[in-house]
Amino acid sequence: MENLRLKKSLERIFNIANINFNGNNPWDIQVHNNNFYQKVLAQGSLGFGESYMDGWWDCEKIDELIYRIFNSELINKFNRRGILWDILKAKVLNLQNKKRSKKVAEEHYDLSPKLYESFLDPYNQYTCGYFKDTNNLNKAQEQKLDLICKKLKLSSKDKVLDIGCGWGGFAKFASEKYGCHVTGISISDEQIKYAKEYCKGFPIEIIKSDYRDFNGKFDKILICGMIEHVGPKNYSVIMKKVHRFLKDDGLFLLHTIGKNESSSLTDPWIDKYIFPNGRLPSVKQIGDVIEKNFVLEDWHNFGTDYDKTLMAWNNNFNKNWKNLKKDYDEKFKRIWNYYLLSCAGGFRARNTQLWQIVLSKKGVKGGYNSIR
């Protein structure tokens, strides 16, 4: 009787988004364990994700399920236990200080490069592709890299700094195609090791360093998919660092996921299992630190392309799972499917955005020509 009551309570909530339990729609939830109802009612989105990890439910199209949850604002009706503590913790603690910032590198980016190679493009781009006039992931990622280079107006004379350089994809592309010298920094041991080998033979220097400890002077600076790990308490710090690193006539491009409203919180499941201590910036949060340091030259939103990127990654991940399953179990597979597909649904619902922002220190003489 108790399970039936809980089921009906949760059904009323999910019916707001036209989501049924054990229904026939591809976005309906097929429940395998009746403990699912209590866990989701008690723990909200954290319990929802964890119950999927544990095989308590399945769904033919998780991306469509999550899209409907966000599009109907059903997510706001979840009872998120501990939310007051989460808010207090985010306000009081610097969750992205030097010590805590290492957690995401150790738990996520230091996973085997073989995992990332299984679903990324040849340049190992773990950020949104640019799907202009194409549906091909590899081409979209090359277009994204070229778009960055063109927006930065790269030339062979430039010294470029890539803060959060990943596996060296941008550094190699920029050096290979534009002839510039690139310095990449990261705090991930696996990324540093991989990038040094991947970029061998090019005028590229890969350094293990926290941005707070780094020094230098550069013509152009890129932060691509890294500021999401910096946190609101450190936005001013990193912007002042970039301002110090950048030559007076230089350009700085910030490529970041963004959210529609300012908040100190993030999704508890993503925070626990994928990106510990990650926080997405809002327009206001970025604007507050831009106005004290830079002139805004261009702001480009192509967040809908992240939906396509994530779906392509998920397709590649499952296509190549046979090469990964000896190293990872079925629970790991469920975690990554849920992560990739739920994020795709969030971008599809326009709950999250993707911004490329071009900044200068004193304004580009004669004006900046936007590139799309």
Q: Report the pLDDT value the prediction gives residue 77, as an integer from 0 to 100.
A: 63
What is the per-residue DSSP string for 191-234? HHHHHHHHTTTSSEEEEE--GGG----EEEEEEES-GGGT-GGG
**250 within a domain of the structure (yes/no):** yes
Just list the catalytic residues: 343
Structure tokens at 77: 């009706």
Q: Report the pLDDT value the prediction gives residue 2, as an integer from 0 to 100.
A: 62
**367 within a domain of the structure (yes/no):** no
Half-sphere exposure of residue 244, counting CA atoms within 13 Å on the CB side?
A: 12
pLDDT band at 78 (very low <50, low <70, confident <90, very high): low
Q: Check pLDDT > 80 for residue 275.
A: yes
Q: Check pLDDT > 90 for residue 210.
A: yes
The reply to whether 266 and 325 lie within a common domain is: yes
pLDDT tens digits for 88-142? 333 443 444 444 444 655 667 768 899 999 999 999 999 999 999 999 999 999 9
Q: Report the pLDDT value the prediction gives residue 331, as an integer from 0 to 100.
A: 95
For the chain, give the number of residues.
372
Q: Report the pLDDT value the prediction gives residue 1, as an integer from 0 to 100.
A: 55
Q: Report the pLDDT value the prediction gives residue 93, as an integer from 0 to 100.
A: 39
pLDDT tens digits for 289-313? 999 899 999 999 999 999 999 999 9
Across the chain, where does the E strand assignment appear? 30-31, 57-58, 159-163, 181-186, 204-208, 218-224, 246-259, 295-301, 352-360
The domain that contains 151 carries what CATH number?
Answer: 3.40.50.150
**107 within a domain of the structure (yes/no):** yes
User: Can you tell me which residue has the tokens 């119950």?
Assistant: 51
Domain that includes residue 316, residue range: 98-360
| Arithmetic mean of pLDDT, 264-288 | 88
> At residue 347, what is the residue type?
F
Q: Report the pLDDT value the prediction gives residue 88, as an integer from 0 to 100.
A: 37
User: Can you tell me which residue has the tokens 């649904």?
Assistant: 345
Q: What is the mean pLDDT of the chain?
A: 90
The reply to whether 14 and 75 lie within a common domain is: yes
Q: Report the pLDDT value the prediction gives residue 104, as an integer from 0 to 100.
A: 52
- pLDDT > 90: percent of the chain: 74
The reply to whether 110 and 180 lie within a common domain is: yes
C-alpha to C-alpha distance for 331 and 334, rounded to whole angstroms: 5
The reply to whether 301 and 338 lie within a common domain is: yes
The reply to whether 33 and 58 lie within a common domain is: yes
Q: What pTM was computed for the model? A: 0.92
Q: Number of folded domains in the chain?
A: 2
